């Protein structure tokens, strides 16, 4: 199949022009084919300019000064929070806690909700397809509280074993279900609405790792009925160091703070302290001001393109990529078929290590990720120590998929396999 058979529902050239790095050469004379947005996305000019404008025109600390600069910085920073609230359809801006990203958000819940609620014998139920960020924070708190970790198995097609999930919820004293919305390796899109309903029926809470969902899908926390949901700004056109933890207000109110310091307090004496209102109770110290402001601009950008359009475009790209990859008998692609998959294709090549695949692709201007993608237990189940991964975003084209396929033939020839 050739690339012109796919209809792109929006002006891909105009979108690509918004991302200056895409016009750069990767090596002299070799254009960049960026297929690593799962690791971090590229940034549109509006976000780059927003960072520049903050530092040039109104750089000041927030929530502190009464001078004009600080008031302006505070207003734009809090304005970003409102944009994020709308983006995920939270009921209140108090439910939007700014974090450095998904990892910090999950650690926050583990160390505050977990520390105050878990006890010996309780079960934290995660899955076999999680990123380390949704395993290790729970292992740490399990060790500290005596709670136990269990993992919902995956089926051979790379989807969750929902029957096993139901049995585990029924048989085990599960207090928290910690699940990824979209797997960063398999691309599996999990049925979060159904899983949250089942978790709640069993008396458990649900935390959703939305790191690979918020850039690509319309995330509606009220429709999902997630108790907590964490994501990273840098994967959705925003700056590194930006991100959000969403939590239901009633839960956040009962949780003790995590980090202590400035901004998170109401009153401090030598004898003790009391806490600020939400969300500041969980935002100790000077926050990542420019970064969260930049994330607000990223949300404006994604909204302007339209999350539905982005999703449709990516579905066309991943569908085309999967069709082309199966043409290559020396490639194994992991994860479900396109109906249950996000814009991620992790694969291995017979007889060639993933790092070598990535290196030869890189020499042709094609940037993919290679390794365990911070999902070592999953790779253990797949029976490989590493995979190569192409991950797509709103600016990728079918021509870039063709470049990947041609590049893989070059890899095959290079290693004579
Ligand atoms: N995955 C990848 O290449 P941070 O690092 O906090 O922004 O995001 C962590 C994280 C959590 N969950 C999932 C599903 C993820 O994919 C990631 C980040 C990147 O796959 C970097 S390891």
Task: Give the tens place of pLDDT for each residue, 366-385.
Answer: 999 999 999 999 999 999 99
* CATH for 326: 3.90.1150.10
Same domain, 78 and 202: yes
- Asked if the structure places residue 142 within a domain, the reply is yes
Task: Quote the Cα angle for 336-170-180, to 5°.
Answer: 35
Q: Specify the DSSP element, H or E, that contains 274.
A: strand 273-275
pTM above 0.85, yes or no: yes
pLDDT value at position 9?
59
Instruction: Using DSSP bridges, classify how beta strands 369-371 and 228-232 pair: parallel, antiparallel or unpaired.
Output: unpaired
- The pLDDT assigned to 164 comes to 98
Name the residue of 41, 211, 235, 334 whose CB sits within 8 Å of the most ligand 1 atoms, as the mutation to test its pocket: 211
Residue 345 lies in a domain: yes
Of 354, 317, 315, give the one whose Cα is nearest residue 332. 354
Q: Which residues of the chain are modeled with pLDDT < 70?
A: 1-9
**Catalytic residues, which ones?**
374
Q: Are residues 220 and 239 in the same domain?
A: yes
Tokens 């929530």 -> residue: 63
CA 132 to mean position of chain CA atoms:
12
Q: Is the CB of 216 under 6 A from ligand 1?
A: no
> Do both 112 and 137 map to the same domain?
yes
Q: Is residue 35 part of a domain?
A: yes
Could you tell me the CA-to-CA distances from 411 to 28, 29, 364, 398 in Å, in that order? 20, 20, 10, 20
CB count, 10 Å around CB of 214? 29
DSSP letter at 91 equals: S
Q: Which of 35, 41, 102 to mutate to test the pocket of ligand 1 (most atoms within 8 A of CB)?
A: 102
Quote the ligand 1 centre to 264 CA distance (angstroms).
27
Considering only CA atoms, which of 129, 124, 128, 125 is closest in space to residue 144? 124
C-alpha distances out from residue 250 to 78, 346, 395, Å: 21, 39, 39
- The answer to the question of residue 291 being in a domain is yes
Q: Is 232 in the pocket of ligand 1 (CB under 6 A)?
A: yes
Residue 273 Cα to ligand 1 middle (Å): 35
Identify the domain boundary among 304, 324, 340.
304
Residues of the domain holding 354 = 3-39+306-415
- pLDDT of 231 reads 99
Question: How far, CA to CA in Å, does 228 sit from each of 136, 221, 258, 383?
Answer: 17, 8, 16, 32
Q: Please state the domain count of the chain.
A: 2
Residue 367 Cβ inside 6 Å of ligand 1? The answer reads: no
Tell me how far the alpha carbon of residue 349 lies from the centroid of ligand 1, in angstroms.
24
> Which one of 98, 107, 232, 373 would you pick to mutate in the ligand 1 pocket, going by the greatest count of ligand atoms within 8 A of its CB?
232
| CATH code for position 160 | 3.40.640.10
- Nearest Cα to Cα of residue 196 among 157, 217, 222: 222
Q: Are 70 and 286 in contact (CB under 8 A)?
A: no
Task: Calculate how far, in angstroms, residue 209's C-alpha sits from the geometric centre of ligand 1.
Answer: 9
Q: Which of 256, 278, 304 is the last residue of a domain?
A: 304
In a domain, 44, yes or no: no
Q: Which are the contacts of 78, defined by CB distance < 8 A and separation ≥ 6?
A: 62, 93
Same domain, residue pair 183 and 128: yes
From 304, 335, 365, the end of a domain falls on 304
Q: Looking at residue 65, what is its pLDDT?
A: 76
- What atom of ligand 1 comes closest to residue 102's alpha carbon? 6
Give the whole-angstrom CA distance, residue 306 versus residue 237: 13
């Amino acid at each position: 199949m050739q690339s012109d058979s796919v209809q792109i529902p929006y002006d891909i050239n105009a979108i690509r022009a918004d991302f200056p790095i895409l016009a750069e050469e990767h090596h002299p004379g070799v254009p960049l084919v960026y297929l690593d947005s799962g690791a971090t996305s590229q940034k549109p000019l509006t976000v780059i300019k927003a960072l520049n404008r903050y530092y040039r025109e109104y750089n000041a600390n927030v929530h502190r000064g009464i001078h004009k600069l600080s008031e302006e910085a505070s207003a734009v920073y809090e304005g970003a929070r409102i944009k994020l609230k709308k983006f995920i359809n939270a009921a209140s801006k108090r439910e939007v806690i700014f974090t450095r990203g998904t990892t910090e958000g999950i650690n926050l819940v583990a160390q505050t909700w977990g520390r105050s609620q878990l006890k010996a014998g309780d079960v934290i139920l995660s899955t076999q397809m999680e990123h380390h960020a949704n395993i290790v924070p729970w292992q740490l708190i399990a060790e500290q509280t005596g709670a136990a970790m269990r993992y919902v198995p995956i089926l051979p097609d790379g989807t969750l074993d929902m029957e096993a999930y139901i049995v585990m919820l029924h048989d085990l004293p599960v207090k928290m279900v910690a699940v990824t919305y979209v797997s960063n390796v398999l691309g599996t899109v999990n049925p979060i609405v159904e899983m949250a309903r089942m978790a709640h029926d069993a008396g458990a809470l649900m935390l959703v790792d939305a790191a690979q969902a918020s850039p690509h899908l319309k995330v509606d926390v009220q429709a999902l009925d997630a108790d907590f949901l964490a994501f990273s700004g840098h994967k959705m056109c925003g700056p590194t160091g930006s991100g959000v933890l969403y939590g239901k207000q009633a839960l956040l109110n009962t949780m003790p703070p995590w980090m202590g310091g400035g901004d998170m307090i109401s009153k401090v004496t030598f004898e003790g302290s009391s806490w600020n209102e939400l969300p500041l109770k969980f935002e100790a110290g000077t926050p990542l001001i420019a970064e969260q402001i930049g994330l607000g601009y990223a949300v404006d950008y994604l909204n302007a393109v339209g999350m539905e359009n982005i999703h449709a475009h990516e579905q066309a790209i991943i569908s085309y990529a999967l069709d082309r990859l199966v043409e290559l008998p020396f490639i194994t692609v992991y994860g479900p078929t396109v109906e249950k998959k996000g814009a991620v294709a992790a694969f291995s090549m017979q007889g060639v290590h993933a790092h070598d695949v990535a290196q030869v692709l890189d020499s042709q201007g094609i940037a993919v990720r290679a390794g365990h993608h911070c999902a070592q237990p999953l790779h253990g189940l797949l029976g490989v120590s590493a995979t190569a991964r192409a991950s797509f975003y709103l600016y990728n084209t079918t021509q870039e998929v063709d470049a990947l396929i041609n590049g893989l033939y070059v890899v095959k020839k290079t290693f004579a396999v």
